[in-house]
Structure 1
Amino acid sequence: MARQLRPVELEFVDEAPVRLVFAATLSARPSAVYTALAEDTADWPRWFTAVTAARSTDGGAGREVRLKGGTVFTESVLVREPVRRYTYRVEQTNAPGLRALVEEWTITATPAGSRVRWTFAADGPAPLRAALRLGRVGLGRAFREAMRNLDRRLAAPGT
C-alpha cells in the first residue's frame, strides 16, 4: 500500500540524514544525458536495469517509477535546469520505512563528454538509515551499470 512521504524541499538534498552521492564520466554530450534523464522517462528501463517501468505524469511535472521487487514511487519534479540539473521528490511509495526521499542528477560538461552526479537523499527510522548506508555499495554498482548502459545507448546510431 502506498504511503505519503514528508514533502521536503530542495535543501533536503544537502541536509538529509542519509546522503549517498555517486558520480560517473560519460562520453555522451550533456544535452543527450539530460534528455535521457529528464525527458525520455519511459526509456529508463532500457538503461537502468533496476527500473521496470517509468512514465511521466501531470504533463511532465511528475513521474511514476516501478523497480524490480515491486517498489513503486510517485514523484514530483522539483527542478528542471536543461542540460544541468534534474531533481525530484518522492511523494508516495510502498517502500517500508521511508519518510522522505529526493534524488538529484547533475550534469557537468567535460572535454570528453559529461560528468554525471546522482545524489540519493533520504530519511527514515534509524534501522532504515543504517540499511541505506549499508546498501551504498549496491546502489553505487547499480548507478555505474546504468551510466555505462546509458552511455552505450546514447552512442548507438539512431538514438
Structure 2
Amino acid sequence: MARRLRPVGLDFAETAPLRLVFAREMTALPDAVFRALAEDVSGWSEWFSAVTLARPSGDGTGREVRLLGGTRFQETVLASRAPEVYAYRVDTTNAPGARALVEEWRLTPAGSGTRVQWTFAADGTAPFRVALKVGRAGLGRAFRDAVRALDRRLASAHT
C-alpha cells in the first residue's frame, strides 16, 4: 500500500538525517547526461538496472518509477536546471518505513566529460535508516553500474 511521505524541499538533500553520496566520472558531456536524466525519463530502465519502469507524469513536473522487487514511487521534480542539477522528491511509496526521500543528481564538467554526484537523502524509521546504511554498498554499486551503462548508451548514440 502506498503511503504519503513528508513533502520536503531541495534543501533536504543537504539536511536529511541520512545522506548517501556517490560520485563517478563519465566521458559524456554534461548536456547529454542531463538530457538522459531529465528529458528521457522513460529511458532510465535502459541504463539503470534496478528501474523497471520510469515515466514522466503531471506534464513533466513528476515521475512514476518502479523498481525490481516491486517498490513504487510517485515523485515531484524539485529542480531541473540544465546542465547542472536534476532532483526529485518522493511523494508516495510502498517502501516500508520511509518518511521523506529526495534524490539529487549534480553534474559538473570534469576533463572532457562529466562528474556525476548522486545524493540519496532520506528520513524514516530506525529500521529503515539501518537498512539504508547496511545497503549503502549495494546502492553504490547500482549507481556505479548505472553511470557506466549510461555512459555506454550515450557513446553509442553518437557513433
Please classify the TM superposition score into its range, dividing by the shorter chain length.
over 0.9
- Partners of 2:70 and 2:127 in 1: how far apart? 21
Deviations 1:73-92 (A, max 9, x none): 00000011111000100000
Alignment of 1:92-131 (within 5 A): 92-131=92-131
- Structure 1 residue 120, shift from structure 2 partner: 0.1
The one-letter code matched in structure 2 to 1:56 is P
Q: How many matched pairs?
A: 159
SS in 1 for 2:28: coil
Residue 16 of structure 2 is matched in structure 1 by 16
**TM-score with structure 2 length normalisation?**
0.98
Identity of paired residues, percent? 61
Alignment partners' CA distance in 1, 2:104 and 2:34: 12
Tell me, in whole angstroms, the C-alpha distance in 2 between the residues paired with 1:52 and 1:158: 25
Distance 2:126 2:36 in 1: 34
What is the alpha-carbon distance in structure 1 between the residues aligned to residue 53 and residue 118 of structure 2?
20
Matched residue, 2:133: 133
Which 4+ residue blocks in structure 1 deviate beyond 6 angstroms?
Answer: none
Q: Distance in 2 between matches of 1:148 and 1:11?
A: 28
Structure 2 gap ranges (5+): none
SS class of match (1:156):
helix
User: TM-score of the superposition, structure 1-length normalised?
Assistant: 0.98
3-state secondary structure, aligned to 1:95:
coil
Q: Which moved more, 1:41-50 or 1:124-133?
A: 124-133
| Aligned residue runs from structure 1 range 54-69, under 5 A | 54-69=54-69
Q: Which amino acid is 1:82 matched to?
A: A
Q: Letter of the 2:21 partner, please give it.
A: V
Unmatched segments (≥5 aa) in structure 1: none
Question: 1:112 Cα shift?
Answer: 2.2
RMSD (Å), alpha carbons: 1.0
Q: Residues 1-12 of structure 1: matches in 2 within 5 Å? A: 1-12=1-12
CA distance in 2: counterparts of 1:82 and 1:33, whole angstroms: 10
Alpha-carbon distance in structure 2 between the residues aligned to 1:157 and 1:19: 33
1:145 Cα deviation from its structure 2 partner: 0.2
Q: Which residue of 2 aligns with 1:47?
A: 47
CA distance in 2, matches of 1:23, 1:112: 16
